[in-house]
Structure formats: structure tokens, C-alpha cells
Amino acid sequence: MSSSLELVGKKIGPIGFGLMGFTWRESPPPQEQAFEAMRAAIANGCTFWNGGEFYGPPEYNSNVLLERYFEKYPEDADKIVLSIKGGADLKTMKPDGTPEGVRRTIDHTIKQLNGRKKLDIFEYARRDQNADFKLTLDTEKAEYLDTGKVGGICLSEVRAETIHEAVKHIKVVGVEVELSLFQTEVLENGVADACAKYNIPLIAYSPIGKGMLSGKIRTVDDIKGFEMLKHFPRFQPENLATNLKLVEQVEAMAKKKGCTPAQLAINWTIALGRRPGMPVIIPIPGATTVERVEENSKLIDITDEEMAEIDETLKNFTTAGARYPDHVPTDT
């Protein structure tokens, strides 16, 4: 997989790699399986990795897994660009954008990585609505960016106004948002426009619709491992029935194209980024097996005609159910 894409001055492949599923689930896969999948990601050019301080308990989160991986494969540390989400009080899971909160989360992440890998990018998972945003950014800049402890700052799950505000105070190297065939809101709400304006890559999480676009979830009982998804509005039986109608259309298109539904969904996000006035889009699908990594990393060329067909499909479809349960902050 070749690419001229860069983040924080380092080359990355066009498809990234989400680490959440390795540690934030009821039964995490064995560490050896995780390592094999991580090695496969590098072998297949998925060299932008995205994890979280709160992806799992402090004793086994993304940082702990990464520290162990790079202990075993130190030669891989320079092959990837690592972005870690944090910024939440680990007891309440509420965002903490105070200077103390900034220091706690970044210092803890750096400590957990144990010198095995530089923290290339740090991102608050949500903007803290109760903190002085400028002070949050100023603390990140003065104490971590300017000192070289962190390579860049990314925003996550933000509205357009937050991006416009942030760029006045700091260089923003990426904006992570949910983007999939089920979730196109950022294309209409000014977020993609803001990223294009400032030449900031859009990092698309859940490009397979939290697994639904893979075609492997037909009923709530098919959700394995991520039991929390059973509480998400889109996966409630009455909504799932509606949402499967889009899945069926994606499956039909993928069959015609000779690829899997997941591959079509992932590559659609990349193709969006080639349209005029759009930012570069880097999807970060997660996978916990070598087989899934290899499937998700395959680049598929989606033609303008196929994109138009997908546009038409989406125009006639309305996703049923909100993205998250009510208690989860979005568009911060």
C-alpha cells in the first residue's frame, strides 16, 4: 500500500488502524493474537494507529498493549504514527480540560508507553464544555508540543465551531469524527468544510458502522464481544431492521464490485476525500485478527459512477436511531 500521506511529518498509509477492540471489550483477545494483528497492520501499510487511555482499564488499555508490543518489536516503533485519545477523568469518564487534567492524562499516557514509543499525537476524546478551551490548548502547546513530548494535537468528536476556535491557538493535525455510510452528518454540518479550509485530515472512526456494514450483524444476538453496542440506539431491534436495508444495498453493490461490504464502506470514505472541497479522509477501522486486518486494508478504486450510485442510495435512506445513548456527549 503506497501513499504520499503524512501526519506530523511522517508517512502513513491511506487506511489507518483502530486499536479499541483489543482492550475495551468484555473478553479481550489473547495478547499474542493482538500482536499478530498489529504486525499484519504494518505489513499491509496501516501505519497510523489510534488508541485510547480509557480503552480498557488502566492496567490493560491501549498504552499497556502498545508498550508490550514495542518491547517485543522495538523496530516497529518508528514505522507507525501513534495517536492516543484521553482527557477524561478515569473515575467519572467525564472530560477534564483543566491544566491539571491535561497534565494527568498526557503524563500518564507517556509513562505507560515507557519510552518505547513517542506519543506522536494526543487528542482529547471530547472537548470539555466546562473548561476554558484556550487554556486547555495553551497547556498542551506550552508543556507538551513546544517541549517535544508530543508530536501533534488532534481534535475528536467536535463541532465546526470548535475547529475554528482551536486553529487560532494551536496547529491541529487531525480531526477525528464518526463517518460511515450510516453517518454522514460531518459532510453537512461544517466539520468537513472546516477541515478542508485549514487543510486538516479528517480521521474517520467507525467506517464500518460499528461492524454493521460488514453484513455480519443481522440480529442483536450477533453482537459478540462489544456487549455495550446492545445498548446503542442503532442496534435496538426496531432500528436494526431499518438499518439492515442499507446493509443489504451495500452488500449488493459490493458483490457486483467483487469486494466485501466492509471494503466498500471503508474505501467510500477515502473516495469522498477526493471530491472537490473535501479534506483528505483517513478511515481507521478496527480489527482483532490478521484475516480482518488484511480484509480492511485492501484499497478498492470506487469510480465516479459508483459514487453517484451510492449518493442516490443514501439520498433515499434515513438511518434509524441516534449514534450513541443519550448520556454520551457528541459534537463537542
Condensed to tens digits (0 to 9), the pLDDT of residues 228-282 reads: 776 787 778 888 888 888 889 999 999 999 999 999 999 999 999 999 999 999 9
What the block records as the C-alpha cell of 33 is 493474537
| pLDDT higher than 60, residue 3 | no
156-214 tens-digit pLDDT: 999 999 999 999 999 999 999 999 999 999 999 999 999 999 999 999 999 998 878 88
Q: State pTM to two decimals.
A: 0.95
Q: What is the pLDDT of residue 324?
A: 72
What the block records as the C-alpha cell of 145 is 508540543
Residue with the bigger pLDDT between 130 and 230: it is 130
Reply yes or no on whether 60 is catalytic. Answer: no
CB atoms within 10 A of CB 269: 22
% of the chain beyond a pLDDT of 70: 97
DSSP 8-state code for residue 88: B
Q: How many CA atoms lie within 13 A of 149 on its CB side?
A: 19
What the block records as the C-alpha cell of 212 is 454493521
Q: What is the pLDDT of residue 1?
A: 40
Q: Which residues neighbour 117 within 8 Å (Cβ) at sequence distance 6 or greater?
A: 66, 67, 70, 77, 80, 82
% of the chain beyond a pLDDT of 90: 79
**CA-CA distance, 267 to 314, in Å (whole number)?**
16
Q: What is the pLDDT of residue 240?
A: 83
**CA-CA distance, 3 to 259, in Å (whole number)?**
21
CB atoms within 10 A of CB 11: 15
Kind of pairing, strands 6-7 and 10-11?
antiparallel
Of 55, 69, 144, 205, the catalytic one is 55
For the chain, how far is it from start to end, CA to CA, in angstroms? 34
C-alpha dist (Å) from residue 272 to 206, 228, 240: 15, 30, 26
Q: What is the pLDDT of residue 233?
A: 72
Q: What is the pLDDT of residue 164?
A: 98
| pLDDT higher than 50, residue 2 | no
- The fourth-level CATH superfamily of domain 6-212+262-302 is NADP-dependent oxidoreductase domain (3.20.20.100)
- Annotated domain spans of the chain: 6-212+262-302
